[in-house]
Amino acid sequence: MMANTQYKAGKANHWRRFLANHLASGLAVASTIIVVAPLVAILLYLIYKGASSLNLNFFTQIPRPVGESGGGMANAIVGSAVLLGLGSLLGVPLGIAAGIYLAEFGRGGRLANFVRFTADVLNGVPSIVMGISVYALIVLPQKHFSALSGGVALGIMMIPTITRTTEEMLLMVPNSIREAALGLGVPNWRSVLSITLKTASPGVITGCMLAFARVAGETAPLLFTAFGNNFWSTSVNEPIAALPLQIYVYAISPYDEWHRLAWAGALVLIVLIVVSVALVRYVTTRGVLKGAS
């Protein structure tokens, strides 16, 4: 009798567990679909809207005044390139050097942990805060907006990603390679740059591209630094146009023509970013340290 009730209880329990199992599986699948759906929707809509608005003028002309149709974002594309170039000039060497310090000199030390922590802090600083900080540091003393200040803001934002990936990639280089170089009487600095860093270079480049892709779409840090510009400018001392800024300005405007251009700009921006992310993924899945046993 008792055995029977136990058996029944066990059976009911079994059904409950069976249901829970399938319910949970179903929920997991459903949430994946819910997550993937908006992305696909965003991308498809972007391609649809952007492609129908893209034309040659977009790449060759500068914005027209309100009311005139046509015009493009040529100055914003060039401006973004200038800003990203300036940012890389600051962020790439500094980020790589900091990564070298963490991996080659600071291993496990307190100071290295501290630097690592501050890099994480820097990574978490909201981009708008970065914008006002660089405004206070550069724009206020100079008394005018400039491409330079925008580049500095982007460069600072690149540093944490580059530093951490450089460190990780250098740590993946086997110690035997370092010993081989030192054993030949090669000075340490030479060994680090020409052997260790070179061996890790595919991974380090990946990190730089990741950082690049991340800041390429940043708008908030440019609002009060690069400021935007409706005309051609490549001077580092003047306000400069940038693709994300232009998209923002056009998106919140009330004009259909400008909305159209905003979509085209967004598509160009996304293609730029997706290509670099895909490239990064290709490189990393291809084995970052080919041949290093």
Partner 1 sequence: MGVGIEVKNLNAWYGNNHTLQDINLHIPANQATALIGPSGCGKSTFVRCLNRMHETNPIAKVEGSVHIGDLDVYNDASPVEIRRRVGMVFQRPNPFPTMSIYDNVASGLRLNGFRNRRVLDEVVERSLKHAALWDEVKDDLKKKSGASLSGGQQQRLCIARALAVDPEVLLMDEPASALDPVSTAKIEDLIFQLKSQYTIVIVTHNMQQAARVAERTGFFLSGKLVEFDTTHKIFTNPGDKRTEDYITGRFG
Partner 2 sequence: MSGLPVTSDPASKSPAPANENQPPSAVRSFLLSRGNSAWSDRAFKWLMFICALSVFFIVALIAWQLILRSQLTISKFGLSFFFKSAWDPVSGDFGALPFIYGTLVSSLVALVIAVPLAVGVAVFLTEMCPKFLRGPLSFLTELLAAIPSVVYGLWAVFVLVPILREHVNPFLMKALGWTGLFAGPNFGIGILAAGVILAIMILPIISSLTREVMTAVPHSQREAVLALGATRWEMIRMGVLRNARIGIVGAIILGLGRALGETMAVTMVIGNRPEIVKSLLSLGYSMSSVIANEFSEASDDLYLSALIEIGLALFVVTIIVNALARVLVWAVTRGAPARVV
Q: Find the binding residues for partner 2 in span 120-179 (CB under 8 A).
A: 120-133, 135-137, 156, 159-160, 163-164, 168
Is there a contact between 93 and 106 (Cβ–Cβ < 8 Å)?
no
Among 111, 90, 97, which Cα is nearest to 166's? 97
Spatial neighbors of 90 by CB under 8 A, at least 6 apart, are 151, 152, 155, 156, 158
Question: Residues 154-193 vs partner 1: string with x where CB under 8 A?
Answer: --------------------x-xx-xxxxxxxxxx-xx--
| 247, 261, 264, 288: residue in contact with partner 2 (rule CB under 8 A) | 247
Please, which residues have CB within 8 angstroms of residue 137's CB and are 6 or more apart in sequence? 149, 152
Q: Is 113 in the site for partner 1 (CB under 8 A)?
A: no
Please report how close the Cβ of residue 1 comes to partner 2 at its closest, in angstroms. Answer: 25
Question: Which candidate, 287, 281, 269, places its Cα nearest to that of 54?
Answer: 269
Contact partner at residue 258 from partner 2, partner 1, none, CB < 5 to 8 Å by partner kind: none
Closer residue to partner 2 (CB): 177 or 197: 197
CB of 81 to partner 2, least distance (A): 16
| Residue 203 interacting with partner 2 (CB under 8 A) | no
Please work out the total of residues on this chain that contact partner 1, with binding judged by CB under 8 A: 25
Is residue 284 a contact residue for partner 1 (CB under 8 A)?
Answer: no
Neighbours of 46 (CB within 10 A): 17
In the window 57-116, what residues touch partner 2 (CB under 8 A)?
A: 93-94, 97-98, 100-102, 104-106, 111-112, 114-116
Residues 237, 269: Cα–Cα separation, whole Å: 25
C-alpha triplet 82, 155, 167: angle, nearest 5°: 130
**Dihedrals phi, psi of 212, to nearest 5 degrees:** -60, -50
Interface with partner 2: number of residues (CB under 8 A): 99
By the criterion CB under 8 A, which residues form the site for partner 1?
174, 176-177, 179-188, 190-191, 194-195, 198-199, 201, 289-293
